[in-house]
Structure 1
Amino acid sequence: MTSRTLADPTQPVTAGWVVRFSLAWIGLYAGLFGPLEVLLPQQIAQLAPADKEATLALVLGAGAACSLVANPLFGALSDRTRSRFGRRRPWIALGFAGGAVAIALLAAAPTVPFVVLGWCAVQTLLNAPFAALSAAVPDEVPAAQRGTAAGYLGLAFVVGIGAGAGLAVLGGATATGYLLCALVALLCSLPYILLGRHTPYRPDTWRWGEFLRGFWINPVRHPDFGWGFLTRFLVNLGNAVVLLYLFFFLSDVVGLADPASGVLVLTAIYSVAMLGSVVVAGPLSDRLARRRVFVTGGALVMAAAAVLISVWPVWAGVVVAAVALGIGFGAYSAVDFALLTQVLPAARDRGKDLGVLNIASSLPQVLAPVIAAPIVTGLGGYAALYLVAAAIEVTGAVLVYRIRSVR
């Protein structure tokens, strides 16, 4: 059947929708990045000081592996959900509630195995709202307004990671930081869950075979979707390699006595730079009706930031690199999401298809430790690591122009 849920939206979203949508993403990013940037490295440094790099790689890799499965699965389930509250909202509510509990439980993890299990639970549960909120954009936002919407999503990313890092550091004790991140994530989700307008939808009859086969999207039949997946994967892989050991890089190479505060300062600088580009790139891409130039340009600036860290590994160099990385990632993220919503194969599978594309963001978290750990420990150190990251990002930037259906 055809419904308003499946039809391409034509009515612009309201300011109220934008605020509720952005708040939900702020909470989601605070819940993910507070632990990722500060709390997990601190906790691992306390629990396994002699092998902290490999242990952190194990924790992050396991969590990312869970998100690889969880994101497309929850997206597909939300596509097929029958509910008077709509097909997305139940998963947003359940995911935030469960994710907040899992973050709080991490605060009490006594050993590394419990940290691994806790982070896997956080990544799994928070990928439910991640998938459902992503699908809300093609569900509710007209194509001509998606660059602006993606710009607000990028703004939420800036505020969310800044809030997460701030809560993690300002909480003092690691356990307090976890509890603050959990509380903020839950509170920020409530306006969208309670006040959002959600169109009920009756999906087709459930067929397990069709459901499982749907996770394979043939790149020959849908080449732009395939190129979109590959370019997102490469750019995010390069970015993941850059950020993976930032805490340890500041401690062991730059020589900061308080690397946690250094991460907070760099996050603030990065956020301000990203804010400046994200609020310009998204709306400008709508106005010019062009996406690829912004995605490619942003990725190339990110690559330049990685090179800068490699050749200038002092605090001043890292600060300048943070500015460049913020500008590049702001332009890239604001427009990449809008571009990808325009290459989805089928309206009824928006959640699942965006979930498959989100694998291109999650898979790098699994592969980054595999790439980074041997380079840092024996194949050139941090200087080589950041040059490898730059090469990966340049490759992704160039291949964006293989996407033909979007300008």
Structure 2
Amino acid sequence: MKKRILVITTTYPRWKNDTDPPFVFELCKRLTDDFEIHVLTPCYPGSVENEVMDGVKVRRFRYFLRKYEKLAGSIGILPTLNNNKLYYFVIPFFLFFSLVSLFKAIRDVKPDLIHAHWTIPLGIFAAFAKTITHVPYVVTAHGADVFGLRGAFWTFMRRYVMRNASAVTAVSNALKDSLKMCHSLSDVKVVPMGVDSSLFASSSRITNQENRSDPTPTHRILYIGRLTEKKGVIYLIRAMRKIVEQKQNITLSIVGSGELENLLRDEVKKLSLSQYVNFCGAVTNHELPSLYAQHEMFVAPSIKAKGGDTEGFGLTLVEANMGGCLVIASQVGGIVDIIENGETGLLVREKDPADIAEKVIYAMDNPDEAKRIASKGQEMAKARFDWFVISQRYASILHDACN
């Protein structure tokens, strides 16, 4: 009989073809061969409370008036709070019903193990539930739960969570180092989230750069992600101003949504970049491979935000690598686990539009070198970050924790 795993997470597809990051779902569905997987996640307007998605049993808990159940989902909890302070009034209800729903799920599912994604708040609830129900748990740190929540209180809570966990995983070495520095943990396993490499066929790439008959082909830059402070998109827009002063045959596609969208649109207008920058909005996850295939470069200008939050890993960089793009990214957080400068991508200083512009222009002027780096990045991503590899590592950790 398969062991039963109860996965608790605040990020999960709300419906089919959602625009929210699907990495927890992608992991869960790949674990169903080894485990009976149940997921507990918050409701969101338009989502159903109980369903089965690719063999994963999903239950969503209510925590407020339905139209205001937007604390989790879309742009994420911390950005939602920063964007609308009124949601702080929702937090007590969210936390209370999260905990109540967890105990109900434990009663109904009778899991052998809980897998809590994010140390705070769900790791805290898993640790508390263990003291009452004796159900062991594994906790995974993703980034904002470590980088974005600092201070003595949060350090104490993370220490409590991790000391009582059967296993602790982090999605990057930067997270592991931060956790070990704060908590002196000797056994934090670095296991990132993955990407399905089969979706990114190298033969599907479409770029005008390959059209040698065009003396001035249009170069295409892509950004995909939430439009939040830590993503640093405003620095990419400012870099575009410097780029077009030298190269006019270039465009930037910004894919995603978030609380800074209006500010970024205003910046584009202020810098007279409307003919070069296109806001595409959020797209469904199954549309992403074709977007990568249509662009030569992917730029991730991430920064360390005011509260300390930064990239825990950077899964879109892996997708871009698998899609054959040349990846240009800031040297912050977990990004350095993916990009080796000059080998699998190009690293830039954070908050430095001039450095971004310099690297983009270098790639435009040296297409053979750019193609070499992109090809090596693609090989690396498929070897290290394919879901088959990643899911096997998680399955091993969960099996050990169950036993």
Which bin holds the TM-score, normalised by the shorter protein? under 0.3
TM-score (norm 1): 0.24
Q: Which has the higher strand share?
A: 2
Larger RCO, structures 1/2 (Cα 8 Å, 6+ apart): 1
TM-score (norm 2): 0.24
Q: Which has the higher helix share?
A: 1
